[in-house]
């Protein structure tokens, strides 16, 4: 997907940080339509609990497309309780092969506290390096900041909050209204 054909890229930053047996997923609240801020306090980080197994997801891109993918992921997790990797791979296969799903324009960060994955419409199920993952328009700014902050003694939430503040200062499509969810592994 070319970035210019995917306007959903411009409007969010999602960051996941794993440290000290905990994963924190943070997302900003800005929703933009072109160069206009439509909403400042959207919730782009969600907790799912299919079959009693908690999973935290953050999404970037089209909100309706992301919700469709989250619903599909929840069904995959219900079919394979406690098997996040399997559910993510199954979702990625469907996303890549299904005529309807392959047009969805979103990315996901998914974690159960032990495993962390970035899912894309290209069929990618990526395990991030360095215990940090980021997506969205400000993702690279947040990723760079978080990787630098991982050399400090800050906990996962402090790293995520500080990195997101740095991204919000740099990316015009990212604000400082955060939704933060944490999960232990």
- Decide if 71 is inside a domain: yes
**What is the predicted pLDDT for the residue at 79?**
93
Residue 184 within a domain: no
Q: Is residue 185, in this structure, part of any structural domain at all?
A: no
Pairing outcome for strands 116-119 and 31-33: unpaired
Residues 96 and 102: beta-carbon distance below 8 Å: yes
pLDDT of 61 reads: 87
Q: Is residue 182 part of a domain?
A: no
Residue 41's domain spans which residues? Answer: 3-174
- What are the residues facing 179 on neighbouring strands? 27
Pairing verdict, β 132-136 and 179-184? unpaired
d(CA 137, CA 3) in angstroms, rounded, equals: 10
Q: Residue 112: its pLDDT value, please?
A: 97
Strand partners, 32: 37
CA distance 107 to 184: 23
Q: Which CB contacts under 8 angstroms, 24+ apart, belong to 83-90?
A: 84/55, 84/110, 84/111, 84/112, 84/114, 84/115, 84/117, 85/115, 85/117, 85/125, 88/117, 88/119, 88/125, 89/125
pLDDT for the residue 10: 52
Residue 180 lies in a domain: no
- Exposed e or buried b for every residue in 18-50, given b needs 16+ CB within 10 A? bbeeebbbbbbbbbbeeeeeeeeebebbbebeb
Beta strands in 52-124 (DSSP E): 55-61, 106-111, 116-119
Tally the domains of the chain: 1
pTM of the model: 0.91
| CA–CA separation, 37 and 99 (whole Å) | 32
Supply the pLDDT for residue 90. 94
The helix (H) or strand (E) run that includes residue 116 is strand 116-119
Positions annotated as catalytic residues are 12
138 within domain boundaries = yes
> In the structure encoding, which two tokens stand for residue 119, read together?
């899912």
CB atoms within 10 A of CB 51: 12
Domain with 115 in it: what CATH number?
Answer: 3.60.20.10
Below-70 pLDDT ranges, the chain = 1-10
């Amino acid at each position: 997907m070319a970035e210019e054909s995917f306007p959903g890229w411009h409007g969010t930053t999602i960051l996941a940080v794993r440290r000290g047996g905990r994963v924190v997923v943070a997302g900003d609240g800005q929703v933009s339509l072109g160069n206009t801020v439509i909403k400042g306090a959207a919730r782009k980080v969600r907790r799912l609990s299919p079959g009693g197994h908690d999973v935290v997801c953050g999404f970037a891109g089209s909100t309706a497309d992301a919700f469709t993918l989250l619903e599909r992921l929840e069904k995959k997790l219900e079919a394979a309780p406690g098997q996040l990797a399997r559910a993510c791979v199954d979702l990625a296969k469907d996303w890549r092969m299904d005529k309807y799903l392959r047009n969805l324009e979103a990315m996901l960060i998914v974690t159960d506290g032990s495993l962390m994955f970035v899912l894309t419409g290209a069929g990618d199920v990526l395990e991030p390096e360095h215990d940090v993952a980021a997506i969205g328009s400000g993702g690279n700014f947040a990723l760079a900041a978080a990787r630098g902050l991982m050399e400090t003694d800050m906990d996962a939430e402090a790293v995520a909050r500080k990195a997101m503040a740095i991204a919000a200062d740099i990316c015009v499509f990212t604000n400082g209204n955060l939704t933060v969810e944490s999960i232990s592994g």
